Structure 1
Amino acid sequence: MRRRGPLTLVLTGLLGAALGLAGCFTERQHEGEKIYATHCANCHGAQGEGLKRLIPPLAKSDYVAKNRTGLACLIRKGIKGPLVVNDVEFNQAMPAADSHLTDSQITNLLNFVQTSWGNQGEVFTIREVSAQLQGCGASDGQ
């Protein structure tokens, strides 16, 4: 039986830790997609296509691209009143997500939208989202 040296044990331990961390990140990797499916797809569509002139699309949305600094608050607080997306006016209220999504979950949701269905926006950091939410009095610090 061959004995393992200290370097081999250290490397094995580091590899095991790295795989464990990868598992942690993998758990959250698709969180934005899951949140979208649970909370957003009923109105905005499974592929972000929206619903005719009632619900705005998120796919290839000029609104998402042009309004980065207000997206977190829009999700947390909802919106009432007219909104123009891809040159079409929408006037359907969107409910607030203030009681059931954390800052972290909103970050993951925004990143899913930013990188799906032809959107090519820069991903958000949790700090950026929390700062946006603090600006509208809506950060939960999580």
Structure 2
Amino acid sequence: MKRGSDLYEDFCVSCHMSYGQGIPNVYPPLAKSDFLMQNRKASIKAIKYGQTGEIVVNNKPYIGYMAPPGLSDDEIADVMNYITNTWGNKNTKMITEEEVSLVEK
């Protein structure tokens, strides 16, 4: 969790903000995010390969581009475990490096 928090601060906070609230109509929230919690593989894929096009988060559409931050599979697992267990999110099954490695473009 500590490393995930540190990676979040280094790579994610400028768009998704300190408390995961995102920027309305620009960058989706991660805090209490239905998309994040219900779309585990798609969320991993977005971090691993980037995200383009529309996604709907908490009933609001977001259309944009997220560049892949260039993290390794173990770093992606750490960030995912941090964001899925912070800001009102609760993940009962931790994400592993192996799970991330199986997500393909």
Q: TM-score, normalised by structure 1?
A: 0.70
CA distance in structure 1 between the partners assigned to 2:43 and 2:56 by the alignment = 14
Residue 127 of structure 1, CA deviation? 1.4
Considering fraction of residues, name the structure with more strand.
2
- Structure 2 unmatched runs, 5+: none
> Which of 74, 80, 89 in structure 2 is aligned with 1:110?
80
Please, what is the CA RMSD of the aligned residues?
1.1
CA distance in structure 2 between the partners assigned to 1:48 and 1:34 by the alignment = 14
1:124 paired residue number: 95
- Structure 1 unmatched runs, 5+: 1-28, 137-142
Question: For 1:3-40, what per-residue CA distance to the aligned partner results, in whole angstroms no more than 9, with x for missing partners?
Answer: xxxxxxxxxxxxxxxxxxxxxxxxxx511000000100
Residue 66 of structure 1, CA deviation? 1.1
Show structure 1 runs of 4+ deviating over 2 A: none
Counterpart amino acid of residue 109 in structure 1: V
2:63 paired residue number: 91
> Which of 42, 60, 65 in structure 2 is aligned with 1:70?
42
Secondary structure in 1 matching 2:61: strand
Considering fraction of residues, name the structure with more helix.
1
Q: Which has the larger radius of gyration?
A: 1
Q: Please, which moves more after superposition, 73-82 or 31-40?
A: 73-82
1:13 paired residue number: none
1:56 paired residue number: 28
Residue 130 of structure 1, CA deviation? 1.2
Q: TM-score, normalised by structure 2?
A: 0.93
